[in-house]
A = this chain, B = another copy of it.
Amino acid sequence: MLPTHNRQVQLASRPVGIPQADHFSIVSVPLPQLQPGELLVRNEFLSIDPAMRGWVNAVANYSEPVAIGAPMRSFACGTVVASRHPGYAEGDVVMGMLGWQEYAITDGRPIRRKVREADLPRSLSLGILGINGVTAYFALTAVGRPRPGDTVVVSTAAGAVGSAVGQIAKIAGCSTVGIAGGARKRQLCRDEFGYDFAVDYKAAGFEDALSAATPAGVDVYHDNTAGSISDAVIRRINRGARIVVCGTASVSSWDDWPSGPRVERHLLNKAARMQGFLIWDYEHRYEEAVARLADWVRDGRLRYREEILDGIEQAPGSIARLYRGENDGKLLVRLNDSR
């Protein structure tokens, strides 16, 4: 018996800065019949990612903004419950841009991949084996290009992407330094994610602690923050350093464009490289990353944390929660079966 209705989290108004719960509304809409070439997915986990803030802003970004009244764009994973698409069968587990909704009807194009790691929790397809892990893998290996012995510094080091970057850098033979906010996250960096050093950017003496943690300077900086954390790291870069710009979490708004110390002289004096990373450039190599990440998860070299919120009602406030930094590791919303 197929469902007749679908609850969606729709964008209700356009936020300036970080989207809050009241920018969204939960609406029940009729679920149309499947057309030839379509499949119906019952979403099980919705993904909450920092980039989603950019997807709802009106300013030019790397993708078109979500329309008012449309379901919020997001990664999600779920099970195919009906299919008129030759490539998908009932029971397949799929992951892709399925949106903040209970059910997704799709022609298959938004689906990123079938989830085949049956021995691992399927929520991982949205985190360490999903956009977060794959981002960490390619941002570090393809843009950061670490060499054994390099010092790799990671900001938002205890987060879903950062924690994976630090661990992959360790696997690559690097010395790793994590920057995180607060004593608890600093502890997580060392005890859970194996950073050689962890620095609390909220503590007094941050710059001195960073210097002490990077006695040989910085060869790779994986930057999820921009802002004053990055300003401090860039002053310590080595000749030929690589700065991977992966996120700008510490900048609350680009509507009023912020200023900071100019980077040109650092880049010139050190012949260093600063480069933006977009996962879309690596879609064709997605399975390469997932296969390696899954092996490292299985043998215990790659650890992850998840924080799971229960029920679609948790989705609207989840992006703001992410930006408040309250979560540990990957933030997810689980849709329950009582619907």
Residues of the B chain whose Cβ atoms lie less than 8 Å from the Cβ of A268: 62, 245-248, 276-278
Per the bound structure, the CA–CA distance linking A269 and B267 in Å amounts to 20
Evaluate contact between A265 and B278: CB separation under 8 angstroms. no
Residues of B within 8 A of A62 (CB): 268-271
What's the least CB distance linking A162 to chain B, in Å?
15
Chain A contact residues, CB within 8 Å of chain B: 60-62, 223, 226, 230, 245-248, 251, 254, 257-278, 281
What chain B residues lie within 8 Å of A271 (beta carbons)?
A: 62, 275-278, 281
Is B60 touching A269 in the complex (CB atoms < 8 A)? yes
Interchain CA distance A267-B264 in the complex, whole Å: 13
Question: What is the CA–CA distance of A73 and B226 in the complex, to the nearest angstrom?
Answer: 38
B262 x A251 contact (CB < 8 A): yes
Contact of A260 among B226, B262, B272, B277 (CB under 8 A): B262
Contact indicator B262/A257 (Cβ below 8 Å): yes
Given A274-B274, A274-B275; A61-B262 close (CB under 8 Å) = no
Complex A-B: 27 CB contacts under 8 Å: A62-B269, A62-B270, A62-B271, A226-B262, A226-B265, A230-B264, A248-B268, A254-B265, A257-B261, A258-B261, A259-B259, A259-B261, A259-B262, A260-B260, A260-B262, A267-B275, A269-B276, A271-B275, A271-B276, A271-B277, A271-B281, A272-B275, A272-B276, A273-B275, A273-B276, A274-B275, A275-B275
> Which chain B residue lies CB-closest to A259?
B259
Task: Determine the chain B residues whose CB is within 8 A of the CB of A61 once the complex forms.
Answer: 269
Residues of B within 8 A of A254 (CB): 265
Which chain B residue shows the least CB distance to A279? Answer: B271
Which residue of B246, B265, B273, B276 contacts A270 across the interface (Cβ within 8 Å)?
Answer: B276
